[in-house]
Chains A and B, each alone.
Chain A
Amino acid sequence: MVELAISQDIGKLVVWCAVVLLFALFVFSIAFIQQEVRFSDEEVAKAKRDRISGEVFGNLVYHVFFIGLILVLGVIGYVAIYSKSREYTITSEPGELAS
């Protein structure tokens, strides 16, 4: 068993938020670009375009709300620990010993 120093640094939180937001931006950009998709069969292409616009942009508010909810609650919880102690120690024991 060893003692480990835990750093509840803001950097980790920033990486998480940034990666989730960048990935969201990537997916929405792809969807936006592909609203103009073309195939040699126009019926197939139109069905694809309608599906993408309906699924992605038809519910954009709810998508943003859902992603935002998890990000905000995650940030609140993370900062709550950070504000109490930025550095603390734990042991490498696999669980707490119960009496």
Chain B
Amino acid sequence: MVLDALIDFMYFVNGLVWGLPAIIVLLGTGLALTLLLGFMQVRYFGTIVRNMRWKGRRGGGEVHPFKIWAAVMGATVGVGNIAGVSTAVALGGPGALFWMFLTGLFGMALKAVEVTLGIKYRRVRSDGKVVEGGTPYYIRQVPFIGPILAALFALFAFIAAPGIGNMVQSSNVAFGASFVAESYGFDPTIAKWLVGIVLTILTALVVLGGIRRIAEAATYLVPFMATWYILAGLGLWLMFAGNFLDTLITIIRGAFTPLEVAKTAASMAGSPEAAAGGILGWTTYEAIRYGVARGLFSNEAGLGSAPNAYAYGESDHPGRQGFYGMFEVFMDTLVICMITGISVIITGAYTTGLTGAPLAMEAFSRAYGPLAPLIVGVALILFAYTTLLTWAWYGEVNWVYFWCKVLKLPEEPMRWIWRIIWVILILPAAVLAKDYFVVFWDFADTANGLMMIPNLIAVIVLAPVAIALLADFARRYKELSS
């Protein structure tokens, strides 16, 4: 009885933290920071790109800045970039993509501010070892309630991590592998077990080595997976290039007016749904609701996850990592999410009534035929695996903050306990049915959404610091990088 009431309450909170009010506060804050930064992400876009070539500064942190960026990118780009974006287009219509684009644009400013704060409020030894760094360390700077907010953030983050960062991801990797196996006539159950065991070993090898090894692995995996998916998407666009202008017009129309589409559009590929006829309709409200939500939850701007890793990167100026953060959101939302979104629209697959990964698969099948399971399956596996690696670190930073900084337990054993728990959880999530974990996953999902509250409060209270640092870095970029 009590448990049922608790579960009901958890779902109620979940609706708030992943629903309309969160969307309003997150996008509103991103827009406000964009104005306060004078549209820095647009005016300095060239600098944002050039900054990615910075060679790092020994003694200014633990890990090369590009490697840290790759690790964060690995966490940000996840299954949601394929399945989530497809669902957003299915539920919000083509117009959702326009609002997703705007969300990415404003999210760049929000991410830049939180990452800059993460670097500014860390503590570094003269040899570059980061003694304290991550989101809770800037949240605790908020007057009066800062220490409570920081402890709450850390608690939410380490509850969220095993669910959304580990078990959901290993389940997705296993699903992706079993999907590819089944498509080519192999036993999906054996594929799941094999993947579960291999994933456990591979994750242990990486995660037990801490942030350095995670970043090292991400440096190889992330550029490969991004190139793989982007090239596949661009190839699809080329094959359907004749529909490109119509696609853009449909996206803009759907963003501002209710859109009605005949299901017969699906006949482009001789889909059986075409025979069923009927219409599909999307309201402007749905386009905003699902487009903004997917954009925000994909790039994680405002959730406070990324500063937990950026804080360990080599840096010579906090604004520099802020610029890395902006490029991360650009790649995630304005490039990879758009690849998925435009692909499902340009092929006409969005009118089939499918959602999630099957919708993306339908779009890629229309371009690549029997190769589609391989293309989407490999992308799903890599997107999920890199998320699993970096979230181990996000969780560890907050686990250590909560148990060792707040409750004063010894740090080294607590780090190892966390890493061992992380590795143990992978296999059951890969091989068992989702039904066994669904309540825990939803609980973790709720905790993930709750991370936004303390983080956003800190972001706005400390925004003047980040704005001054970002403006100073933009002004002195050439001098600093020479």
Contact = CB atoms under 8 A, between A and B. Distances in A.
Contacts of A66: 16-17, 21-22, 25
Interface residues of A, number: 59
Contact of B32 (A20, A27, A38, A94): A20
B16 to A, nearest CB: 5
Interface of A: 2, 4-9, 12-13, 15-16, 18-24, 27, 30-31, 34, 37-41, 44-45, 48, 51-52, 55-56, 59, 62-64, 66-67, 69-71, 73-74, 76-78, 80-81, 84, 90, 92, 94-99
A96 B123 contact: yes
B145 interface: yes
Nearest to A69: B453
Contacts of A4: 468-469, 472
A27 B292 CA distance: 11
Given A90-B468, A94-B315, A31 B457 contact: no
Interface stretch (B153-161, B228-236, B274-282, B341-349): B274-282
Contacts of B463: 12, 16
B281 A44 contact: yes
Interface stretch (B126-134, B164-172, B217-225, B401-409): B126-134
Given A39-B260, A94-B317, A70 B123 contact: no
Contacts of A59: 15, 19
A8 B478 CA distance: 28
8 contacts: A27-B23, A27-B285, A44-B279, A70-B25, A77-B145, A92-B319, A94-B320, A96-B122
Given A19-B28, A63-B21, A94-B318, A37 B258 contact: yes
B201 interface: no
A85 to B, nearest CB: 11
Closest 7 CB pairs of A and B: A20-B28, A80-B143, A77-B461, A94-B315, A66-B21, A39-B281, A19-B32
A77 B457 contact: yes
Interface in B453-479: 453, 456-458, 460-461, 463-465, 467-469, 472-473, 476
A94 B123 contact: no
A27 B29 contact: no
Given A8-B464, A44-B279, A74 B456 contact: yes
Interface string B165-190: 00000000000000000000000000
B286 to A, nearest CB: 7
Contact of A6 (B17, B29, B283, B464): B464
A16 B465 contact: no
Contacts of A71: 25
Contacts of B22: 66
Given A21-B28, A95-B121, A95-B133, 16 more contacts: A4-B468, A6-B465, A12-B464, A24-B24, A31-B285, A39-B260, A41-B278, A52-B283, A69-B453, A70-B453, A70-B457, A78-B461, A80-B143, A94-B317, A97-B125, A98-B132
B472 A40 contact: no
A72 to B, nearest CB: 10
A44 B20 contact: no
A79 B83 CA distance: 42
Contacts of A30: 284-285, 288
B456 A40 contact: no
B28 A24 contact: yes
A74 B285 contact: no
A39 B20 contact: no
A98 B20 contact: no
A17 to B, nearest CB: 8
Contacts of B146: 77
Contacts of B461: 74, 77-78, 80-81
B464 A94 contact: no
Contact of B131 (A37, A38, A98): A98
B21 A77 contact: no
A39 B16 contact: no
B284 A92 contact: no
Contacts of B258: 34, 37-39
B253 interface: no
